[in-house]
Structure 1
Amino acid sequence: MQRVFNRLKKVTHKADLPWEVHLIDNHQWNAFTIGGGKVFVYTGLFKGKLAVRSDDELAAILAHEIAHVNARHASEKQGKLMLSKLLDKKLRSAAYEASFTTNQEDEADKYSVIYSALAGYKPSAGAEIWARMHKQLGSDSKDRLHDHPLNADKAKSLTRYAKLAEQYYHSGKINKNYKTLLTNNAVFFHQGESTLKAGEGGGFLALFETLGNAYVEAEKAKQEQRKRGL
């Protein structure tokens, strides 16, 4: 795990963070981050029918958590939720807040395929994990608050992003052009400008952009609620 993590952290947008990865003895299939470069992995990821099967799959999971750190999702979520709730009173519910998080999950998926590919890990590994998850558990995890995309949807979107990132993948080798590709690649430009750059201009323009992003993500969250019948 440390070996895979060390290669990934070299090719991220914030390689200078004090990155750490820790293994927790817990049967759950899960990994998470508290920000600041700290990533935690449960031992449950390596056990049972859903166990991680290769370095590529482990890289997909670690890259996803690294992406959450780089995009500042923990702090960003609260600000955007406040703005979106001001825009629409109907969005003031726990179910909506969880659906809003699915937007961040999708964004982390986009970055994760790039990080994996640039570090020399197969970018399609994440899609393979979630396709297996869907086969074993179905599409909906039945999580009460639905704070992750449906398994089938996640597999499909990761497959789409991985195809775009495949051109940067050299098995077992860090792409020598990784610094340029972090800000200029088919995944980000296919989906729109990298959100890691959004709002950095400051002033009124940054505020306008933030409000626009909050509105777009609010609409996505509404779609997620409708999809689940909430």
Structure 2
Amino acid sequence: MALSRRHFMAAGAAACTGALCGCAQSPATGRSFFAGMGGDINDDIKLGQQEHAKLVKSFGGVYEDRKLQSYVDSIGRKLAAHSEMPTLPYSFTIANSPIVNAFALPGGPVTVTRGLLALCNSEAELAGVLGHEIGHVTARHTAERQGQGMLAQLGVAALAIATGSNELASMASQGAQTMLQSYSRDQESEADALGARYMERTGYDVDKMVTFLDSLHSYSVVDGRMAGLPDGKVDDFNMMATHPRTVDRVRDAARLASGVRQVDPLVNREPYLNAINDLLFGDDPKQGMVVGTRFTHPELRFEFTVPDGFRITNGERSVRAQNPDGAVIVFDMAQTRAASMTSYLGREWAANAGLSGVEALTINGQEAATATTRGKAGNTVVDVRLLAIRKDENEVFRLVFLTPPALTARLSEPFRRTTYSFRRLSTAEAAAIQPLRLVVTYVRPGETVDSLARSFPFDRWNRDWFRLLNQLQENDPVKAGQVVKMIMAREGARG
């Protein structure tokens, strides 16, 4: 969440809009389909270029590392050159987000997050991801999807309260999630087959599509457990939800696409690990940091904790936490001229929302106020609790708690704990927060999985994360001289 004194919540949306419909064909698949945004490939290109910067911005902007960016771009362009549409204006961008995801826009823009780069263990695995996304482009899946009436909504999705105003904004990246989720399983399998085809033509080991999918599922399990989610729900908040695929489907797609047994295919593990050495891991402190159920912002000097079972997603202008049952917490900031927080609630923030139970509070020494109403999140009726906390004379912190009515009573006490967890950080506390880095190193004689994992910052999940990042099974040992990925604060870098 990159907020400053001049950067506050602004309502807006960047939806893909009203293009002409027509019949189109994909040169990659040979299929004809009804295209909601027009049959001409130039419509794809125009839409992709129009929305790319907005979508990348919603995922934290561009990750500033020219050398790594050039490396990723070179892999993507080699794959694209072996596609059926090599002359499209492809681009391959790294987004500054810890979320593990990748997405393609029509006409050529492909984006991978640095979170995904951290999970990959070889150049061939990354090539599998990029090839899959190129497959979505060459199959023209977005045009086909729009022809089926599923328009992609990119940018900021507004959440209306009782008056229908757009004051509450959910995560901008939710628009991207909506777009990616609308790919059918058949389209995902088709993108796998095309990606495998491009990998085989470029010389990459096609089987690495499967090893990455194994890592992706393991990540969803570990990350979901840390968030307090039951195992059956762990795929609801990450790339496994937006790219619904199974290992068997990917393996079948790879076999069909390759058709021949590869001899000495490219894997390039060590060159890849060298490229991602010192990669920023987790949240960028400039945007605020998620640590389990706690959100902390060292630059703006505040923190709060959400209830167990809620998954926090950090966005450009807001922070969103959601549990599997549909309850949502949204945090943002706004300007105010109000003399009191109760006045701010009733006169500025929700003047026409029919507030009830307006109450002045003091939260860890800060002036605050709360009130309730009933509204809508999309087409769903929800109970709404608004909380405003004074930052200074001109600014206010805001928390919105949204619950399906059946859950409101049960979540009342957990939401109260979240309310009183909000506090300001001292200068020393903020300065002590260090970003995490992915460090590539060698196992020293005598070191074990346990001794190496001990330095990880994930408490009881340290071993899980070490094994996940290094693709180790439960009983796999490490050996002296083995190259491994470590996670540590910058100041604690291993010598």
Shorter-normalised TM-score: what interval? 0.5 to 0.7
Correspondence for 1:118: 201
Q: 1:100 to 1:14 in 2, by over 3 A?
A: closer
1:142 aligned partner: 236
Q: Do structure 1's residue 26 and structure 2's residue 120 form an aligned pair?
A: no
Tell me which protein shows more helix as a share of its residues: 1
**What is the deviation of 1:111?**
0.7
Structure 2: where are the runs of 5+ without partners? 1-71, 151-177, 222-231, 267-495
Distance between the aligned counterparts of 1:141 and 1:71, measured in 2? 26
SS, match of residue 167 in structure 1: coil
1:2 correspondence with 2:96: no
Q: Percent identity?
A: 28
Q: 2:199 is matched by which residue type in structure 1?
A: S
**Letter aligned with residue 157 of structure 1:** R
User: How big is the shift at 1:59?
Assistant: 0.3
Q: How many residues align?
A: 153
Deviation at 1:166, TM superposition (A): 5.6
Confirm whether residue 160 of structure 1 aligns to residue 231 of structure 2. no
Deviations 1:198-227 (A, max 9, x none): xxxxxxxxxxxxxxxxxxxxxxxxxxxxxx
User: What RMSD over aligned residues (CA atoms) do the two structures have, in Å?
Assistant: 2.7
From 79, 82, 107, the counterpart of 2:190:
107
For 1:15, which of 86, 89, 92 is the aligned residue? 86
Show the 5 A alignment for 1:184-223: none
Residue matched to 1:77:
145
Deviation at 1:106, TM superposition (A): 1.6
Q: Secondary structure in 2 aligned to 1:35?
A: coil
- Shift in Å, 1:3: 2.1
Structure 1 SS opposite 2:235: coil
Distance 2:253 2:184 in 1: 19
Q: Which stretches of structure 1, 4 residues or more, deviate above 6 A after TM superposition?
A: none
- Residue 58 (structure 1) aligned with residue 126 (structure 2): yes
Deviation per CA, 1:136-176, whole angstroms, max 9, x where unpaired? 435761249954325xxx2111112223316164524xxxx
For 1:18 and 1:38, locate their aligned partners in 2 and report how far apart those are by CA, in whole Å: 8
Structure 1 gap segments, 5+ residues each: 83-94, 173-230
SS at 1:142 equivalent: helix
Counterparts of 1:147 and 1:6 in 2: how far apart (Å)?
24
Structure number with larger C-alpha Rg: 2
Q: Cα distance 1:8–1:169, how it changes in 2: closer, same or farther (>3 A)?
A: farther
Q: 1:134 to 1:22 in 2, by over 3 A?
A: closer
Structure showing the higher strand proportion among its residues: 2
- Of 131-140 and 19-28, deviating more is 131-140
TM, length-normalised to structure 1: 0.59
Greater relative CO (CA pairs within 8 A, separation 6+):
1
Q: Aligned partners of 1:114, 1:40: CA distance in 2, in Å?
A: 20
Letter in 2 for 1:120: G
Distance 1:37 1:141, change over 3 A: same
Q: How far did residue 101 of structure 1 move? A: 2.5
Judge which range, 99-108 or 7-16, deviates more. 99-108
1:146–1:40: structure 2 CA closer, same or farther, 3 Å change rule? closer
Contact in 1 for aligned 2:145/2:182 (Cα 8 Å): no
2:109 and 2:149 map into 1 onto residues whose CA distance is 24
